[in-house]
Amino acid sequence: MRATRSFCFLGILILTFGLSIMAGFGSADDKPPSFPATYDRPAGNPRKSRSAVVAKHGIVATSEPLAAQVGLDVLQSGGNAVDAAIATNAMLGLVEPMSNGIGGDLFVIYWDSKSKKLYGLNASGRSPYALNREVFAEKELTMIPSQGPLAWSVPGCVDGWHELSERFGTMDLSQVLAPAISCANEGFPVSELISMYWQHAAPTLAEYPDTAQTYLIDGRGPEFGELFKNPNLARSYQLIAEGGRDAFYNGEIAHAIVTYSEANGGYFSLKDFTDHESEWVEPVSTSYRGYDIWELPPNGQGIAALEMLNLLESYNIKEMGHNSAEYLHLFVEAKKLAFADRARYYADPAMAEVPVAGLISKEYAARQRKRIDPNKAAADVPPGDPILQEGDTIYLCVVDKEGNCCSFIQSNYAGFGSMMVPGQVGFVLQNRGALFSLDEEHPNRLEPHKRPFHTIIPAMATKDGEPWLVFGVMGGDMQPQGHVQVLVNMIDFGMDVQSAGDAARVRHTGSAQPTGTPMQEGGGHVHVESTVTDDVVESLKQRGHNVIRGGSSFGGYQAIMINREYGTLSGGTEPRKDGAAVGY
């Protein structure tokens, strides 16, 4: 079966090198903590970085070419969108380990072509039963460290794979994990930007013996093009291939994590793992100029994008012009309002009241819109949490020949998560628990067995009840901002699926955070990419915005558009990444 053969051959090596070189030199947007912003790959080119990929039967788009090729091979071997997504994710956990892996969480929006229905999966993990706010008070900590065992929450990824595969998949996990297992044992060539992240993180990884043994070569990160092996991850994947999700949550892997936790200041117990379960949820939506935009409800931040779209819909953005001062001012002000709500309300709905329907209603948007001054920036905006700015994530999307659509996002949170590999398992544990608040009055406060606020959000857009766009933009609190900008680029300004991602983006930092971070004076900062003109920058400054060229990451975009008129698919991939959209 083609999906089980080795993928670490010369042709894939050439593909990796060729796409990396074609995309340009630089670094990625979802950086490990403190990754220098000056390494960001240029974007916003006046011409497209590449043509959109067009195919008839299926497309896979993600941030690393080897992983995209694995997913495509699964589609060509008869698998469906879920099979390909899991295979791609497993490969990404190997080749882009700073951004994702089975030590993290995942979320999915899935269109099932048979039932003609959207499904949402929340596969995020919960805090340990034994960890509470009193622990931090005793340690005299006023915030949760982003590094180390206090930021751990139970990894939800493997149970998410199980739920997706059981409900919609057509292949066994042993089949879809086989390519990643083979490549982990044989070695893979490290791509350009991923090598740069890896080398930057190496000094911190070296502080933890098991992490260093897993991820470093003679104390350093691998070079661009160097072969890297992870036999420990291959063994963990093999255990899951043979034993399913129970191998992770009830078997050898869970025991290894708990044993490591007990020896290294963690609070995990076996009960945390045996009690873990994912949740199928109903996606929520708003309409924008005739399109229905779908996100998952909290504990994620997807509804912030819906709030922003509701606020912008009444303005004639097309007439203002792409990345004009008028449009960017309204965009930033809408973002400030949505993120103020995000800071106040977004939390685990199982343990807090989250008024989702009200927040994404058109009536609420009409009231909120009155707070926007078209000529002046609002200055009373809380700050962005410094950890939240650095979310490290992968996003992938798949559409198969039957029309099934999978919008799939998975993350360790910050680069290499907590930085801790528990023994010989071959993967780091996420630090998603760092996004809890220690404020006892906050709905997102840390409590035992609770899901933290999440930044990672998959998305989908439908037209006349059928999928039109499967998309995502990873990157901490850039994600809702990226969702809105990409959609406006396509719907208001008529860009195609590749141009919409190539176009220059802006990112506002300085909004309120669900961690309870206090407000920043001056309204935060508006970061703009290089091709936003000097006249626009000056006009934004005259409105009271604090504008900075660069100095931030601008997200990582992947998308597939379904053209029902021609019966074809178009795929776009992020020029700021190593990735690829591939189809057949």
List C-alpha distances in Å: 521 to 138, 331, 377, 390. 32, 20, 12, 21
* Contact residues for 212 (Cβ-Cβ < 8 A; gap 6+): 205, 206, 219
**DSSP letter for each residue of 301-313:** SHHHHHHHHHHHT
Q: What is the per-residue burial (b if ≥16 Cβ within 10 Å, else e) of 552-583?
A: bbbbbbbbbbbeeeeeebbbbbbbbbbbbbbb
**CA angle (454, 446, 157) in 5-degree steps:** 40
Amino acid at 298: P
**DSSP reduced 3-state for 60:** strand
Q: Taking Cα atoms as reference points, which of 48, 137, 92 lies closest to residue 497?
A: 48
Pseudo-torsion of CA 581, 412, 26, 189, nearest 10°? Answer: -70
10 Cβ neighbours under 8 A, 6+ residues apart:
none
The one-character DSSP state at 463 is E
- Cα dihedral: 139, 144, 148, 153 (round 10): 120
Answer for the pair 578, 192: CB distance below 8 angstroms, yes or no.
Answer: yes
Distance of CA 493 to the CA centre of its chain: 25
568 is catalytic: no
Q: Can you say whether residue 181 is alpha, beta or left, with left for phi > 0 and alpha for psi between -120 and 50 degrees?
A: alpha
Task: Please give the helix or strand (H or E) that residue 118 lies within, else none.
Answer: strand 117-123
Instruction: From the candidates 62, 393, 462, 515, give the one annotated as an active-site residue.
Output: 393
Helix residue spans in 313-390 (DSSP H): 317-320, 325-345, 356-359, 362-369
Active site residues: 393
